[in-house]
Amino acid sequence: MISWRLLNLRYLIEGLLAVAFLIVLLFRIREGRTQLLLRGYLLLLVFAWLIQTYSLYPLATKLVDSLVLLCSLSLAILWQGELRRLMELLGTCRIGALIGTQKTNDLSNSTVAQLTEAAGRLSQNRRGALFVVDLGNNLCPEDFLNPGITLDAQLSVDLLLNVFATDTPLHDGAVLVQNNRVRSAGVILPLSRQGLNRYGTRHLAALGITERFDQCICIVVSEETGNLSLANEGKLERPITSGRLKTLLSGLVLNNPSRKISSLSTRRMINDMLEPRA
């Protein structure tokens, strides 16, 4: 009786661990093509488990095991960036960032306007700049190669312009914006490995931090061309205008009035469709 209970407990723990692992994967993977690959891989694992459990066909078991190993190696190569990000989040023990349930830090309309204006003026003067905007990952000093200098100052256009003046010691790093405030300046970000021959250091740094944290965006001002770029989830949109930058930032603001109106009109339309007609 004791051994049977222990066996049931073992199966229960194994099932809970498997479910928890699947939940983490589903929360972290959002792209449709990646989800299809993961779904096929999981079906292959289930098929291999069924064959190994009953062990009726030794040759088929060998073939399926080899196929699972080959697929595992292939997925490890394809998802090396995602796996590296997952291991980093596991190492920091930040469960909220791991499953994507952290509270979003809303950008105010004033912050969006100031970031857009500062980026536009820096672009006109061809002064390189890098803004890191934390939308909910609660970035810590250990997330950067160098945390820079703590400011914790009120965000303003003049402050951003002064930080990225060419004769200041902080202009080579990034500015971290959290909760509509400038938390630090001179931050050194981890670089991405993609596009090494196409992008400069600022663009690689923007890609590197957004690859690791999905609730984080970066605004880049090129020092050579003055072009504006926006990095989000390891993808770079460039070149963009100041108006396009403001539109993209406004789309990330949860308290944007236009977004509320759009959501309200959508709800009304759904209610009208579901309401029975007389």
Sheet containing strand 149-154, edge to edge, reads: 149-154, 181-187, 174-178, 129-134, 216-221, 228-232, 235-240
Secondary structure (3-state) at 154: strand
Q: What is the pLDDT of residue 264?
A: 34
68, 179 in Cβ contact below 8 A? no
Q: What is the pLDDT of residue 77?
A: 78
Per-residue pLDDT tens, the chain, 278 aa: give them. Answer: 456 566 567 777 877 787 777 776 666 665 556 667 777 888 888 888 887 777 667 777 788 888 888 888 887 777 766 676 667 666 666 655 555 555 556 678 889 999 999 999 999 999 999 999 998 878 888 888 899 999 999 999 999 999 999 888 888 899 999 988 999 999 999 888 776 778 889 999 999 898 888 788 999 999 989 999 999 888 899 899 999 999 988 887 654 433 333 333 333 333 443 344 33
Structural domains of the chain, with CATH = 2-99 (no CATH), 109-258 (3.40.1700.10)
Query: 28-54 burial, b if ≥16 CB within 10 A, otherwise e?
Result: beeeeebeebbeeeeeeeeebeebeee
Q: What is the pLDDT of residue 89?
A: 65
227, 129 in Cβ contact below 8 A? no
Q: What is the pLDDT of residue 107?
A: 76
Q: Name the nearest CA neighbour of 101 among 141, 136, 143, 140.
A: 136
Task: For residue 126, give Cα distances in angstroms to 109, 228, 239.
Answer: 25, 10, 14
> CA 110 to CA 24: how far, in whole Å?
35
Q: What is the pLDDT of residue 28?
A: 61
Longest dimension (CA), the chain: 79
CA dihedral 98, 99, 102, 108 (to 10 degrees): 90
- The label of the residue with tokens 């009208």 reads 272
> CA 278 to CA 269: how far, in whole Å?
17
Structure tokens given for 199: 């992008």
Q: What is the pLDDT of residue 102?
A: 53
> CA 181 to CA 152: how far, in whole Å?
6
Q: What is the pLDDT of residue 58?
A: 77
Secondary structure (3-state) at 146: strand
Q: What is the pLDDT of residue 273?
A: 38
Q: What is the pLDDT of residue 272?
A: 41
Query: 191-227 burial, b if ≥16 CB within 10 A, otherwise e?
Result: bbeeeeeebeebbbbbbbbbbbbbbbbbbbbbbeebe
